[in-house]
């Protein structure tokens, strides 16, 4: 077993280089003055004060959170019935539906978004509606698959027992199926809300430049403006929001288990 434990070393090294070091650099840039020499660092909170003191930046953050929330709610509303229908089918039919659901994801997300840009331009729609369409289309499969996995693991004997005890279909769903599938819903929320709130190319391509989200701000300050310090501060603020969101979703996922 000790010999196999050494196999983890390359992954730890990769994680340090690709995750930990970039995060440390973001923190360093976020708390330093623009144009610093690495040897004479001048630490400051001005990057965060600049974000909070300007009405534009919190407004963009709020818009990003709102659009991610609406996208997540819509994905739940569409994804749960779809996953429930898939889970109620025979194994072969369910496997085929899962394949059809995952088939579009084999194509790069950027290519699929460009395709939707052509379709929506032809339909004559624009603005916020297009952004929602792009987000729901790209992130809906993650919600469906998570809920379907949770539903498919439910012991059918529990449903039979509920019916034997006099529960009708609605009561069985509310008392048995829904509580046991909440873990899939919570996982789906994590996989939809987090990428949606930080998305930048979907609003950029489908919004026509009218709907700037927080991801677009980060991209602009890193790529176009070259203000890595302020861009890092925005990135750090988003990282904190994402960590808080993950903590809340994990807590929601843990509470039903503790209640059992």
Mean pLDDT calculated for residue range 30-40: 70
Q: Per the structure, how many domains does the chain have?
A: 1
Residues 6+ away with beta carbon under 8 Å from 19:
none
Residues above pLDDT 90, as percent of the chain: 27
Mean pLDDT calculated for residue range 77-88: 94
Residues above pLDDT 70, as percent of the chain: 92
Is 155 part of a structural domain of the chain? yes
Q: What string of DSSP letters covers 145-210?
A: HHHHHHHHTS-HHHHHHHHHTT--HHHHIIIIIHHHHHHHHHHHHHHHHHHHHT--HHHHHHSTTS
Statement: residue 34 has pLDDT above 90: no
Is 154 part of a structural domain of the chain? yes
- Residue 84: per-residue pLDDT: 93
Is 182 part of a structural domain of the chain? yes
Mean pLDDT calculated for residue range 92-108: 89
Statement: residue 39 has pLDDT above 60: no
- Sign of the alpha-carbon dihedral angle for 80, 85, 87, 88: positive
Is 228 part of a structural domain of the chain? yes
Is 109 part of a structural domain of the chain? yes
Q: What are phi and psi of 63, to 5 degrees?
A: -60, -40
Mean pLDDT calculated for residue range 180-186: 90
- Sign of the alpha-carbon dihedral angle for 204, 215, 65, 59: negative
Q: What CATH number is given to the structural domain containing 235? A: 1.10.3720.10
Mean pLDDT calculated for residue range 167-179: 87
Domain range enclosing 242: 58-259
Is 35 part of a structural domain of the chain? no
Statement: residue 148 has pLDDT above 90: yes
What letter does residue 81 receive in the DSSP assignment? H
Is 7 part of a structural domain of the chain? no
- Residue 44: per-residue pLDDT: 86
Identify the CA nearest to 116 among candidates 106, 96, 130, 103.
130
Is 90 part of a structural domain of the chain? yes
Q: Which residue has the higher pLDDT, 41 or 30?
A: 30
Query: pTM above the 0.95 mark?
Result: no
């Amino acid at each position: 077993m000790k010999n196999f434990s050494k196999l983890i070393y390359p992954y730890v090294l990769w994680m340090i280089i690709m995750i930990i070091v970039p995060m440390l650099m973001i923190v360093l840039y976020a708390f330093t003055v623009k144009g610093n020499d690495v040897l004479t660092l001048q630490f400051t909170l001005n990057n965060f004060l600049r974000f909070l003191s300007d009405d534009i930046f919190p407004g963009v953050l709020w818009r990003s959170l709102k659009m991610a929330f609406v996208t997540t709610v819509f994905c739940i509303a569409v994804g749960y019935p779809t996953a429930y229908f898939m889970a109620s089918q025979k194994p072969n039919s369910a496997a085929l539906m899962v394949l059809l659901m995952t088939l579009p994801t084999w194509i790069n997300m950027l290519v699929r978004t460009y395709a939707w840009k052509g379709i929506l331009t032809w339909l004559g729609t624009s603005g916020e509606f297009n952004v929602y369409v792009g987000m729901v289309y790209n992130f809906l499969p993650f919600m469906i698959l998570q809920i379907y996995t949770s539903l498919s693991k439910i012991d059918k004997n529990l449903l039979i027992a509920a019916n034997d005890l006099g529960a009708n279909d609605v009561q069985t769903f509310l008392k048995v199926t829904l509580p046991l599938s909440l873990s899939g819903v919570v996982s789906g929320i994590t996989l939809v809300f987090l990428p949606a709130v930080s998305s930048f190319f979907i609003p950029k391509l489908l919004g026509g430049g009218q709907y700037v989200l927080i991801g677009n701000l980060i991209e602009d300050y890193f790529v176009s403006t070259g203000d890595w310090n302020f861009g890092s501060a925005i990135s750090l603020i988003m990282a904190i929001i994402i960590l808080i969101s993950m903590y809340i979703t994990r807590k929601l996922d843990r509470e039903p288990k503790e209640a059992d």
